[in-house]
Amino acid sequence: MALFKTDAEKKKEYLDEAMKLADKGEAEGEKAIAILEKARALDERDIQVWLHFGYVYVAIGKTTEAIKAFKKATEIDPANLDALNNIGLAYAKAEQYNAAVWAFNGAISKHPKAAILFNNLGNVYFDKGLYFEAMQEFRKAIALDPSYTDAYHHLGITGSGTESEEEALVKFEEAMKKGLNKAKAHHDLGVTHMDKGMYDKAAASFEEAIKIDPKFSSAFSYLAEVYEEKGLLDKALTALAKVSELNPRSAKAYNRLGLFLHKHGKTKEAVETLRKAVAMDSSYANAHYALGQAFEGRGYADRAIKEYEIHIMINESGWTVDDAKSRVERLKAQVAASGK
């Protein structure tokens, strides 16, 4: 056994440890970045170091920093497929769709036979609502790689918005025959039905996905929406509670559950749930806004004002900020009038 580790061995350990920490969420993000700085100190020209910076920043929700890191990787290797692809993905995650299209087209110019780039470009067009363009890219991906199940799958989703439902179902079936995860196929077919307002069929699809994969968080999340649309509030609440159970470190999951509870008059439970959300992520502006509403619903004006002011400080602009400012002004006037 070697008494001393080489720089390469140390670097690999740092990269692996950083990714493990990043997988735990934002709470461990700074530790992950600090560890990557150690790897960077060993070799700043190692492309894997910059790729891992990008991966970690994406994992903790810092897409701007992720894009910078992936671009740094391309300075070392301008044709690196992983870096080029992830730049496009990071732009898409940040909802900078035009930049994502530009990034993927640039990547395709360097890798014209990389099916993954056409598939991901198709996803961006889909998110922009450009379904015809999206379908073109998915077909290109399939032409390059006839076994690419995700491309079949995405073509099925997109086709359901532009073609007959039967044709879309055929595409989903083709994707499943080629090895696509069946739970995912039923899940996305449910989303398709849901978008068309076909809530009974959507519920059946999500329930089938959950039957195949009982830990499919997204299926529970969408199923809750469908149940709420159908007026099945107890079932919707159960589904949302399951999402939180499956994602115990997710502030967004608890925020959504809290919003549902508040909306349907369970203000005490809403306050308890939303407190968990802000405790998990104190910078989560929407959770502070929702907690302010819940406190206001409970008649706790001072606490509501505090949460609204935190929301305003974090968000700075937007309709929720305008509404929060209006609520703060009104609540402060009420407190002053009551003499408290």
**What DSSP assignment string belongs to 41-103?**
HH-TT-HHHHHHHHHHHHHTT-HHHHHHHHHHHHHH-TT-HHHHHHHHHHHHHTT-HHHHHHH
Position 164 scores a pLDDT of 46
Query: Which SS3 state, helix, strand or coil, does residue 184 take?
Result: helix
- For range 153-166, the mean pLDDT: 63
The C-alpha R_g of the chain, in whole angstroms, comes to 23
Largest CA distance in the chain: 77
Residues 117 and 87 sit within 8 Å (Cβ to Cβ)? no
> Hey, where are the domains in the chain?
11-110, 253-340
249 falls in which pLDDT band (50, 70, 90)? confident
Query: Which SS3 state, helix, strand or coil, does residue 46 take?
Result: coil
For 234, residues 6+ apart whose C-beta sits below 8 A from its C-beta are: none
Instruction: Reply yes or no on whether the pLDDT at 304 is more than 90.
Output: yes
159 falls in which pLDDT band (50, 70, 90)? low
Instruction: Reply yes or no on whether the pLDDT at 49 is more than 50.
Output: yes
For 87, residues 6+ apart whose C-beta sits below 8 A from its C-beta are: 67, 70, 71, 74, 103, 107
Please provide the CATH number assigned to the domain covering 253-340: 1.25.40.10
> Encoding tokens for residue 63?
């897409």
Instruction: Reply yes or no on whether the pLDDT at 165 is more than 70.
Output: no
Q: What distance in Å separates the CA atoms of residue 178 and residue 116, rounded to the nearest whole number?
A: 16
| 223-227, 272-276, 334-338: range with lowest mean pLDDT | 334-338
Position 132 scores a pLDDT of 87
Which region holds residue 318: left if phi is over 0, alpha if psi is between -120 and 50, else beta? left
- CA torsion, ordered 53, 57, 59, 61, to nearest 10 deg: 180
Phi, psi dihedral angles at 93 (to 5 degrees): -60, -35
Higher pLDDT, 171 or 70: 70
Residues 135 and 163 sit within 8 Å (Cβ to Cβ)? no
- For range 130-136, the mean pLDDT: 90
Query: Which SS3 state, helix, strand or coil, does residue 292 take?
Result: helix
- For range 43-58, the mean pLDDT: 91
- What percent of the chain has pLDDT above 90? 56
Instruction: Reply yes or no on whether the pLDDT at 76 is more than 60.
Output: yes
Residues 69 and 36 sit within 8 Å (Cβ to Cβ)? no
pTM reported for the whole predicted model:
0.58
Position 172 scores a pLDDT of 63
Position 4 scores a pLDDT of 72
Residue 22: closest CA among 54, 69, 65, 67: 54
Position 166 scores a pLDDT of 58
Position 290 scores a pLDDT of 95
Position 246 scores a pLDDT of 93
Does CATH place domain 11-110 in 3.40.605.10?
A: no
Residue 189: closest CA among 221, 154, 213, 139: 154
Q: Do domains 11-110 and 253-340 have the same CATH topology?
A: yes
- For range 101-130, the mean pLDDT: 95
Residues 297 and 267 sit within 8 Å (Cβ to Cβ)? yes
User: What would the 3-class secondary structure string for 173-205 be?
Assistant: HHHHHCCCCHHHHHHHHHHHHHHCCCHHHHHHH
Helix or strand run (H / E) with residue 89: helix 81-93
> Encoding tokens for residue 261?
């509870």
177 falls in which pLDDT band (50, 70, 90)? low
Instruction: Reply yes or no on whether the pLDDT at 15 is more than 90.
Output: no
Position 148 scores a pLDDT of 78
Position 1 scores a pLDDT of 41
- For range 123-141, the mean pLDDT: 91
How does pLDDT run across 104-116, given as a tens digit for each residue? 999 999 999 999 9
Residues 90 and 118 sit within 8 Å (Cβ to Cβ)? no
| 59-68, 169-178, 267-276: range with lowest mean pLDDT | 169-178
Helix or strand run (H / E) with residue 221: helix 217-229
